[in-house]
Protein backbone atom coordinates (compact mmCIF):
# COMPACT_ATOMS: atom_id res chain seq x y z
CA UNK A 1 0.00 0.00 0.00
CA UNK A 2 1.26 3.37 -0.96
CA UNK A 3 0.76 6.29 1.43
CA UNK A 4 -0.30 9.61 -0.04
CA UNK A 5 2.49 12.18 -0.03
CA UNK A 6 0.67 14.40 2.51
CA UNK A 7 0.31 11.50 4.98
CA UNK A 8 3.98 10.57 4.61
CA UNK A 9 4.92 14.21 5.24
CA UNK A 10 2.77 14.25 8.38
CA UNK A 11 4.35 11.01 9.65
CA UNK A 12 7.86 12.40 9.05
CA UNK A 13 7.03 15.68 10.78
CA UNK A 14 5.51 13.87 13.78
CA UNK A 15 8.53 11.55 14.07
CA UNK A 16 10.88 14.54 13.86
CA UNK A 17 9.09 16.22 16.75
CA UNK A 18 8.89 13.08 18.86
CA UNK A 19 12.41 11.82 18.30
CA UNK A 20 14.38 15.04 18.04
CA UNK A 21 13.37 16.95 21.13
CA UNK A 22 15.76 18.34 23.70
CA UNK A 23 15.93 16.46 26.99
CA UNK A 24 15.32 18.48 30.17
CA UNK A 25 17.86 18.04 32.92
CA UNK A 26 18.94 19.51 36.20
CA UNK A 27 22.35 19.93 37.83
CA UNK A 28 23.16 21.23 41.27
CA UNK A 29 25.84 23.47 42.63
CA UNK A 30 25.72 21.26 45.72
CA UNK A 31 27.50 22.42 48.85
CA UNK A 32 28.05 20.20 51.86
CA UNK A 33 27.87 21.44 55.48
CA UNK A 34 31.51 22.62 55.22
CA UNK A 35 30.69 24.73 52.15
CA UNK A 36 32.60 22.42 49.82
CA UNK A 37 31.27 21.71 46.33
CA UNK A 38 30.22 18.12 45.73
CA UNK A 39 31.31 16.74 42.36
CA UNK A 40 30.99 13.34 40.74
CA UNK A 41 33.56 11.62 38.53
CA UNK A 42 31.80 10.23 35.50
CA UNK A 43 32.44 6.74 34.17
CA UNK A 44 32.03 7.71 30.52
CA UNK A 45 34.54 10.58 30.45
CA UNK A 46 36.55 9.94 33.63
CA UNK A 47 36.20 13.66 34.36
CA UNK A 48 34.55 15.48 37.25
CA UNK A 49 31.09 16.97 36.81
CA UNK A 50 28.24 18.58 38.69
CA UNK A 51 25.72 16.02 39.96
CA UNK A 52 22.36 15.89 38.24
CA UNK A 53 20.35 14.19 35.56
CA UNK A 54 17.24 14.21 33.45
CA UNK A 55 13.63 14.54 34.47
CA UNK A 56 11.65 11.35 34.43
CA UNK A 57 8.11 11.23 33.10
CA UNK A 58 5.73 12.87 35.58
CA UNK A 59 8.48 14.55 37.65
CA UNK A 60 8.94 18.21 38.40
CA UNK A 61 12.32 19.91 38.60
CA UNK A 62 11.88 20.11 42.37
CA UNK A 63 11.25 16.37 42.72
CA UNK A 64 14.12 15.53 40.36
CA UNK A 65 16.68 17.33 42.51
CA UNK A 66 16.73 15.09 45.62
CA UNK A 67 16.43 11.92 43.54
CA UNK A 68 19.37 12.77 41.29
CA UNK A 69 21.54 13.97 44.20
CA UNK A 70 20.96 10.68 46.01
CA UNK A 71 21.42 8.51 42.91
CA UNK A 72 24.57 10.19 41.64
CA UNK A 73 26.30 11.59 44.71
CA UNK A 74 24.82 9.64 47.63
CA UNK A 75 23.85 12.87 49.41
CA UNK A 76 20.59 14.00 50.98
CA UNK A 77 19.13 17.32 49.90
CA UNK A 78 18.99 19.60 52.95
CA UNK A 79 17.79 22.72 51.18
CA UNK A 80 16.92 23.53 47.56
CA UNK A 81 18.32 26.91 46.62
CA UNK A 82 17.66 29.36 43.86
CA UNK A 83 17.69 28.86 40.12
CA UNK A 84 21.11 29.94 38.87
CA UNK A 85 20.89 29.35 35.15
CA UNK A 86 19.50 27.58 32.13
CA UNK A 87 21.83 26.15 29.49
CA UNK A 88 20.63 24.90 26.12
CA UNK A 89 23.68 24.72 23.85
CA UNK A 90 23.46 21.45 21.92
CA UNK A 91 27.25 20.97 22.03
CA UNK A 92 27.40 20.63 25.84
CA UNK A 93 26.37 16.98 25.94
CA UNK A 94 27.63 14.54 23.30
CA UNK A 95 24.74 12.12 23.92
CA UNK A 96 21.78 14.39 23.15
CA UNK A 97 20.57 17.97 23.06
CA UNK A 98 19.96 18.84 26.69
CA UNK A 99 18.32 21.84 28.29
CA UNK A 100 19.91 21.97 31.72
CA UNK A 101 18.60 23.95 34.66
CA UNK A 102 21.18 24.83 37.32
CA UNK A 103 20.18 25.22 40.95
CA UNK A 104 21.96 25.83 44.23
CA UNK A 105 21.59 23.15 46.88
CA UNK A 106 22.72 22.49 50.43
CA UNK A 107 23.41 18.79 50.87
CA UNK A 108 24.59 16.33 53.48
CA UNK A 109 27.97 14.70 53.32
CA UNK A 110 27.68 11.50 51.25
CA UNK A 111 25.52 8.97 53.10
CA UNK A 112 25.48 6.21 50.44
CA UNK A 113 27.53 5.11 47.47
CA UNK A 114 26.29 6.23 44.03
CA UNK A 115 23.57 3.90 42.74
CA UNK A 116 25.34 3.05 39.47
CA UNK A 117 29.10 2.51 39.95
CA UNK A 118 29.59 2.21 36.19
CA UNK A 119 28.09 5.66 35.64
CA UNK A 120 29.63 7.39 38.69
CA UNK A 121 33.14 6.32 39.66
CA UNK A 122 33.71 8.64 42.60
CA UNK A 123 32.15 11.40 44.69
CA UNK A 124 34.20 14.09 46.37
CA UNK A 125 33.67 17.47 47.99
CA UNK A 126 36.13 20.16 46.87
CA UNK A 127 36.99 23.50 48.40
CA UNK A 128 36.36 26.22 45.82
CA UNK A 129 40.09 26.65 45.12
CA UNK A 130 40.55 22.90 44.63
CA UNK A 131 37.83 22.32 42.01
CA UNK A 132 39.29 20.83 38.80
CA UNK A 133 39.62 23.49 36.10
CA UNK A 134 37.93 21.41 33.41
CA UNK A 135 34.63 19.72 34.19
CA UNK A 136 32.82 17.23 31.98
CA UNK A 137 29.83 18.07 29.78
CA UNK A 138 30.55 21.77 29.50
CA UNK A 139 30.12 22.39 33.22
CA UNK A 140 33.25 24.50 33.80
CA UNK A 141 31.59 27.76 32.75
CA UNK A 142 28.37 26.78 34.53
CA UNK A 143 30.19 26.47 37.85
CA UNK A 144 32.33 29.57 37.26
CA UNK A 145 29.26 31.72 36.57
CA UNK A 146 27.42 30.35 39.58
CA UNK A 147 30.38 30.97 41.90
CA UNK A 148 30.67 34.53 40.55
CA UNK A 149 27.00 35.12 41.36
CA UNK A 150 26.09 35.55 37.69
CA UNK A 151 22.62 34.42 36.62
CA UNK A 152 22.78 33.09 33.08
CA UNK A 153 20.57 31.57 30.43
CA UNK A 154 21.09 30.70 26.79
Identify the pLDDT of residue 2.
Answer: 65
Residue 14 resides in a domain:
no
Q: Please report the DSSP string for 9-26 in residue order.
A: HHHHHHHHHHHS-PEEEE
Residue 117 resides in a domain:
yes
Identify the pLDDT of residue 20.
Answer: 76
Q: Name the pLDDT band for 79 (thresholds 50, 70, 90).
A: very high
Identify the pLDDT of residue 94.
Answer: 79
For the chain, helix (H) and strand (E) counts, in that order, are 3, 8
Residue 148 resides in a domain:
yes
Residue 73 resides in a domain:
yes
**pTM score over 0.95:** no
Residue 10 resides in a domain:
no
Q: Determine the average pLDDT of the residues in 81-104.
A: 91
Q: Is the pLDDT of residue 10 over 80?
A: no
- Domain range for 117 is 22-153
- Neighbouring-strand partners of residue 100: 25, 87
Q: Determine the average pLDDT of the residues in 25-48.
A: 97
Identify the pLDDT of residue 104.
Answer: 98
How many domains does the chain contain in total?
A: 1
Residue 15 resides in a domain:
no
CATH code where residue 30 lies: 3.90.79.10
Residue 147 resides in a domain:
yes
* Positions of E strands within 47-150: 48-49, 52-54, 77-87, 98-107, 120-126
Q: Is the pLDDT of residue 18 over 90?
A: no
Q: Is the pLDDT of residue 121 over 90?
A: yes
Q: Determine the average pLDDT of the residues in 107-128.
A: 94
Residue 108 resides in a domain:
yes
Share of the chain above pLDDT 90, in %: 75
Q: Is 35 left (phi over 0), alpha (psi -120 to 50) or beta?
A: left
Identify the pLDDT of residue 90.
Answer: 85
Q: Is the pLDDT of residue 107 over 80?
A: yes
Identify the pLDDT of residue 12.
Answer: 67
Amino acid sequence: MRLPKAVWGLVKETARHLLRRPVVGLVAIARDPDGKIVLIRRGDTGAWCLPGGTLEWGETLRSTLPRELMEEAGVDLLEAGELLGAYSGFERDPRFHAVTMVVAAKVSKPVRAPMNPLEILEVRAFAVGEVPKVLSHGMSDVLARALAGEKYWE
